[in-house]
Amino acid sequence: MPEESGRTLRYVASATGSDERGDGTAERPFRSLERATSAVLASYRDEETGRLRTLTGTHAVELVCAADPAERRGIFKRRCVNYHVDPEVIGADGNGSEMAPWSDLETALAGIVRAHGDHGSSRLTPGTSIHLRVHGLFAAGAIERRKQLIERVVFGVLALITTLLVLPLAAILGYLLVKAWPVLSSDFILQNPSAYMTAGGIWAPLVGTFYLVFISLVIAAPIGVLAGVYLNEYAGENWLTRIVNLAVVNLAGVPSIVHALFGVGAFVLFAGLGRSVLAASCTLAIMTLPVIVTSTKEALAAVPYSFREACWNMGASRWQTIRTIVLPNAISGILTGVILQVSRAAGETAPILFTGAVFYVAVPDEGLAAFFPYGLRDSFMALSYHLFTISTQVTGVSEGLQYGTAVVLIGLVMTVNLISIAFRVYLRSHKKW
Among 61-65, 152-156, 292-296, 383-387, whose mean pLDDT is lowest? 61-65
Give the pLDDT band of residue 281 (cuts 50, 70, 90).
Answer: very high
pLDDT at residue 193, rounded to an integer: 86
Task: Examine the domain organization and report whether 277 and 423 are in the same domain.
Answer: yes
- Check whether 136 has a pLDDT greater than 70: no
Sign of the Cα pseudo-torsion (50, 21, 9, 114, in order): negative
Residue 250 CB coordination number (10 Å): 10
Domain that holds residue 375: 186-429
Q: What secondary structure letter does DSSP report for 362?
A: -
Overall average pLDDT of the 258-283 stretch: 92
Task: Examine the domain organization and report whether 164 and 263 are in the same domain.
Answer: no
Give the pLDDT band of residue 72 (cuts 50, 70, 90).
Answer: very low
Overall average pLDDT of the 147-159 stretch: 93
For residues 202 and 386, give the distance between their C-alpha atoms in angstroms, rounded to a whole number: 9
Give the pLDDT band of residue 329 (cuts 50, 70, 90).
Answer: confident
pLDDT at residue 16, rounded to an integer: 62
Task: Examine the domain organization and report whether 23 and 147 are in the same domain.
Answer: no
Task: Examine the domain organization and report whether 308 and 195 are in the same domain.
Answer: yes
Backbone phi and psi for residue 13, each to the nearest 5 degrees, phi listed first: -120, 155
pLDDT at residue 408, rounded to an integer: 92
- Check whether 264 has a pLDDT greater than 90: yes
Task: Examine the domain organization and report whether 22 and 44 are in the same domain.
Answer: yes
Rounded to the nearest integer, the mean pLDDT of the chain is 82
Task: Examine the domain organization and report whether 274 and 305 are in the same domain.
Answer: yes
pLDDT at residue 74, rounded to an integer: 46
Backbone phi and psi for residue 102, each to the nearest 5 degrees, phi listed first: -70, 155
Closest Cα partner for 431 from 343, 307, 342?
Answer: 307
The answer to whether the CB of 345 falls within 8 A of the CB of 212 is yes
pLDDT at residue 125, rounded to an integer: 75
Task: Examine the domain organization and report whether 40 and 163 are in the same domain.
Answer: no
Task: Examine the domain organization and report whether 265 and 369 are in the same domain.
Answer: yes
Task: Examine the domain organization and report whether 146 and 206 are in the same domain.
Answer: no
pLDDT at residue 170, rounded to an integer: 92
Q: Which of 110, 139, 168 is where one domain is finished?
A: 139
Q: Which of 155, 180, 205 is where one domain is finished?
A: 180
Of 317 and 116, the structure prediction assigns the larger pLDDT to: 317
Burial of 166 (0-12, 13-18, 19+ CB in 10 A): exposed
- Check whether 135 has a pLDDT greater than 80: no
Task: Examine the domain organization and report whether 221 and 176 are in the same domain.
Answer: no
Among 282-286, 302-306, 311-315, 366-370, whose mean pLDDT is lowest? 366-370
Q: Which of 127, 158, 180 is where one domain is finished?
A: 180
Task: Examine the domain organization and report whether 87 and 229 are in the same domain.
Answer: no
Task: Examine the domain organization and report whether 127 and 149 are in the same domain.
Answer: no
Split into its structural domains, the chain has a count of: 3
Q: Can you give the CATH number for the domain in which 312 is found?
A: 1.10.3720.10
